Amino acid sequence: MSRPTSKTDLLEAGNTQFLKLEKLMQTLPDENQAFNFEVTEKMTEAHWQRDKNLRDVLIHLYEWHRLLLNWVKANQDGNLQPFLPAPYTWKSYGQMNQEFLEKHQSTSLSEAKQLFEASHQDVMTLADTFSNEELFTKKIFDWTGTTSLGAYFISAVPSHYDWAMKKLRKQIKANQ
């Protein structure tokens, strides 16, 4: 998938990757199974150790959708704030991800799916409210810093779905 460069591309990529992820989830032999793929020394990112099952992956996506939705709303309402809530920074957001995981340990897989599906729809609906220029012109909003608003949507939706599918494919392969 090439990186979206227009509103049309963004909406299409988000929905296409969502459907691909949904289809891939259906191929898991047991959606409730704990991940049992081997984590190698090359897999240095924290998420390989953090996420233990499909629910954890879906909750991660849901919480990042919420980050995006809350950030856009706050800034549109005139409450200027960074994308990551205090006290997190781009150097410390791993702890935030861990806290998302811990917060949802009693969330069922069924509920995680519902939360993820609803937040996906909310994000796509929000993206559709912006013009192509608003999404893909850097610095059009002072609260997006030096990047475009669309880049945040790409990171939270199609790119994050690619990340999730990579993890699920590892699990599917481990079960073969």
> pTM for the full model?
0.94
pLDDT, tens digit (0-9, with 9 covering 90-100), for 116-136:
999 999 999 999 999 999 999
Q: Which of 121, 161, 141 is nearest to 4 (CA)?
A: 161
pLDDT band at residue 46 using 50, 70 and 90 as cut-offs: low
Integer Rg of the chain from CA: 16
